[in-house]
Each structure stands twice: as C-alpha cells, then as structure tokens.
Amino acid sequence: PRGAAGIWVGSGTNNYFFNNTITGSNETCDVYGVLLKYASNNIFNFTEIRNLRSTSNVYAFYSDENSISNSIYNMTLASYPTTISFIYGNGIALKGVLEEEIQSNGELLHIGKFINVTGVTVGSWINVTIHYTEQEIWMVNESSMKLYRYNETSGEWENVTFILNETHNYIKANLTEFS
C-alpha cells in the first residue's frame, strides 16, 4: 500500500511503541494510523488513533501478510472510542466505524463498541479483545452481553463465539470470517 502513515514499520523487528497518539490527517491518498510491512515481533501498547480522513482509503491499523508475531495492546480507535487488544495472522486491516455507518438492528442494544475488520488474505485471522468500562454498560445486564458481526451479504447481524470476562471488563473472540 502507498499513502500517509502515522507510524510506518517496514522490515522492522523487536520494536516497542508505547503511549502514541495518531490524529488529524486529511489526505487525498490512502491513510494509515499504523502500517506494518515485513514487520515482526513488534509491540504496540496504549496507542490512540482518531480523526483520520482521506478521499481514499483510511485504516487505523494495516498489516501485510508478511508481518508476523506483532502484539497490540490497548489500541483506541475512532472518536466514540473503542479500545481493543489483538494478535493476528496473514494480514489484517482495522478501522473505526463512524456513527452513521452502523447498521441498526432494533432488537439489539449496543454499547457503542464497533470496529471494521478486513482480512488481507483468505487465511487472515484476528484474536481480538474489546475492552469496556462499567460506565459504558450501565444500561445492560453485563452477563447477557453478546458479540456480533455484521454480514454485508445477508444484511444480518450474526452471533460470534466469544469469551466474556466480567471481572476485567472485556469480551474476546477469534475471528476468521470477515464481511
């Protein structure tokens, strides 16, 4: 991919990125908050990515299929915000979801945690942890929370197998299917 990036790691290994904020790009080319190409064994911890704009593609995080064993902890995407941690394989692309892009389902009550995950290859996968606070879920019974993925083909929200940790306030899932 070509374009502008807040953090671009090309052929870099064993780097540690801590407490970074990437914000406010308004470009005509592709824009990446974090872009990894042939990058391995890197750690990102407490990274905030918001207000990226472009007339082309915008990704908060993009990793090519040649980047392996990278770990991301407490990455906050979008302005509403959604904080996630994840590991992945075979390339992955993430971006925040704008409020107007959220596909409504009158039966589901959401807590405002949305991410758009795209596989870079047919073998892409992501093990993602979505963090939340007690204040963000005040209107729901925590033990009844579920995780869904939006299927663009069918136009339906589909259940995802997940682990809910009420003690540490996160929901975790391994995803291998992307819309």
Cα-based torsion angle of the residue sequence 59, 107, 162, 111 in order, rounded to the nearest 10 degrees: 60
Q: Is a pLDDT exceeding 80 seen at residue 134?
A: yes
Structure tokens at 74: 């407490």
Residue 152 CA to residue 154 CA, distance in Å, equals 6
In angstroms, the Cα distances linking 60 to 114, 124, 137, 148, 171 are: 13, 17, 25, 21, 21
Mean pLDDT of the chain: 91
3-state SS class at 95: strand
Structure tokens at 136: 């963000």
3-state SS class at 136: helix
Each residue's pLDDT tens digit, 13-70: 999 999 999 997 788 899 999 999 999 999 999 999 998 888 889 999 999 999 999 9
Which pLDDT score, from 0 to 100, does residue 109 have? 78
With beta carbons less than 8 A apart as the criterion, state whether 87 and 60 touch: no
Q: Is a pLDDT exceeding 60 seen at residue 1?
A: no
- Cα-based angle 99, 90, 120 (whole degrees, multiple of 5): 45
Which pLDDT score, from 0 to 100, does residue 179 have? 67
